[in-house]
Amino acid sequence: MALNIGPAHPATHGALRFLVELDGETITKASTEIGYLHRAFEKHAEHSTWSQVIPYTDRLNYCSSLMNNVGYCFAVEKLLNIEIPDRAKFIRVIVAELGRIMDHLICVGTSAVDLGALSNFWYFYNVREQIYDFTERLCGARLTTNYTRIGGVMRDLPPDFDSGMRKVLKSLDRAVRDVTRLLERNRIFIDRTQGVGAVSKEDAISWGFTGPCLRASGVPYDIRKAQPYYYYDTFDFEIPVGTTGDTYDRLMLRVEEIRQSQKIIEQALDRIPEGPILVNDPKVALPPKEKVYGSIEGLMNHFMLLVDGIKPPKGEIYAATEAANGELGFYIISDGGARPYRIHCRPPCFPICAAYGKMVEGGMIADAVAVLGSLNIVVGELDR
Amino acid sequence: MILERLQEKFAPEILSCHQDLGDLTIVVKKDRLHDILESLKTDPDLAFEMLMDVCGADYLAFGEAAEKPRFEVVYHLYSLSKNHRLRLRVKVPEDDMKVPTAIDLWKSADWHEREAHDLFGLEFVGHPNLKRLLLFEGFEGHPLRKDYPMEKRQKIPVPEEKLK
């Protein structure tokens, strides 16, 4: 029997379509159809200036939009070959780890709902709302943050960020403890997730998995440790690694990563230096408003930056950051003009979704839903 | 070191190489591409176990020397054991857009090549299922090419029953 798990379905977490052939409850063949959320990010980016692309990047992985902003600006700054000030680097680390925490909270919360465990969703989303209060104070928006700029960040941390954030991290601690107690040794959860959708190490590497799905299969690859950026090599944190690569490992690994991200944020809040948040380069970053309204050079600088735009030299760059789902890569070609010549975004969940069809073959429909939840496929990122 | 290894076996195919901004990039011709990719994966000193990305690029509007050949396929490779990266750019002329598939070496090439075919029209010879991925089936044209206008609208296909 052929079954269509259509694009509008509560268990697919987005607009994804699966066509499965069933023999009773067992799936004999499965294929995936994507593209329901394709919004032509790459084509739009070719027609916008370098800074106008940043709001488009928010909407890639909308669950952790701050990480997309950081990833894109990281790539453009590498292309321009500029160094952003230290305070901006630490702010970006704090904000990226907040994005990672938010994404993992969504993933574990909604996967548990798919399996029938409803309370975890509320514990995790409560903390998410508290973090949203902070992103709103930081950049004005809860979800589509548009926070980083090429050369730094848009606005400095508000004065009560430090104490407020530590309170939120305490409540995150409690929520993680509650959810772990509810799920870790729960008989139903273990039966539904252990041994389900296991991916071997060789398969995971060949399929191009990165991030929590690769680490659950036993490969300790994390860009923050392998090719560190923004002082990640000076922070003290561990990367959890799983053993079997099944659904249980993937979900529990994400909960552990929330704890590690919490450690990083606390260390970054302790160590953050004072200083400027935008690089002091007139060709890249807008001058402060006092100069714009006070001197003719500031006014001309502001005008030329907004009308002409940033002009990186001719060249190409591939810069990868460790996003919540894995390696988020931006491949950018510049022809020296005010608009990018070509931007290609390598979404971390693209190869993971490609492997999904093979992962569920031979299992049951209920297992297919459990596996899909643990892969954390965000359709905004998948389709761009 | 990666460049020397490739030059030992494939010197006539290598067009240029640079290491700007910290990324090692090698530009090659299309011939013997599959052998080059295979040796990148299996050679013990290169050991590129992961294919991170395959994408296309259209150089039609790239400044003064609008370069011939027009298209490029760009492979981004990463080695887990040696922790090094490589960008391999393959020049593809407009009149012969056939490129051998890398799906037998890395399974991740599957959907990346389908997407490059969908958006640029590059043909990957040997790919078992080279259909459109991101765009719907009745879509005409290849939108990421530079001569595809941004504002162009497509006719949305309507199922036959509705027309009656």
Distance CA A316, CA A307 (A): 24
pLDDT for position A109? 92
Q: For A208, which of B50, B58, B61 is closest by C-beta distance?
A: B50
Whether the bond between B69 and the residue before it is cis, its omega within 30 degrees of 0, is yes
Half-sphere exposure of A272 (CA within 13 A, CB side): 22
- Residues in B closer than 8 angstroms to A347, CB to CB, are none
* Residues B53, A207: C-beta atoms closer than 8 Å: no
SS3 label, residue B38: helix
Residue pLDDT, tens place only, A203-225 = 999 999 999 999 999 999 999 99
Dist. CA A107–CA A119, nearest whole Å: 14
pLDDT of residue B15: 86
Please give the pLDDT value at position B164: 53
Q: Which CATH superfamily groups domain A2-383?
A: Cytochrome-c3 Hydrogenase, chain B (1.10.645.10)
3-class DSSP assignment, residue A134: helix
Domain ranges of chain A: 2-383
Query: From CA B125, how far away is CA B30, in angstroms rounded?
Result: 12
**Which chain B residues contact residue A329 at CB under 8 A?**
52-53, 76
> E strands, chain A, where?
2-5, 17-23, 26-33, 148-149, 152-153, 315-323, 326-334, 342-346
Chain A, nearest residue to B78 by Cα: A208
Taking CB atoms and an 8 Å cutoff, what residues of chain A touch B23?
A: 316-318
Query: What pTM value is reported for the model?
Result: 0.92
Chain B nearest-CA distance from A335, in A, is 6
Closest CA–CA distance from residue B71 to any residue of chain A (Å): 12
pLDDT in single tens digits along all 164 residues of chain B: 778 888 888 888 888 888 888 888 999 988 888 988 888 888 888 888 899 999 999 888 887 656 678 888 999 999 988 888 999 999 998 888 899 999 999 999 999 999 999 999 999 999 998 888 888 888 888 999 988 888 888 887 777 765 55
> How far from A5 is each of A16, A343, A370, B151, CA to CA, in Å?
8, 32, 14, 33
From the CB of residue A324, how many other CB atoms can be counted at a distance below 10 Å?
30
Q: Which two tokens stand for residue B98?
A: 């056939």
> Is A331 part of the contact surface with chain B (CB cutoff 8 Å)?
yes
Closest Cα to residue A348, out of A35, A37, A31, A68? A68
What ipTM goes with this model? Answer: 0.91
- The SS3 call for residue A360 is helix
Using 50, 70 and 90 to split pLDDT, how confident is the model at A184? Answer: confident
Domains and CATH numbers, chain B: 2-163 (3.30.460.80)
CB distance B25–A78 less than 8 Å? no
Tell me if A209 sits within 8 A of A218, measured CB to CB.
no
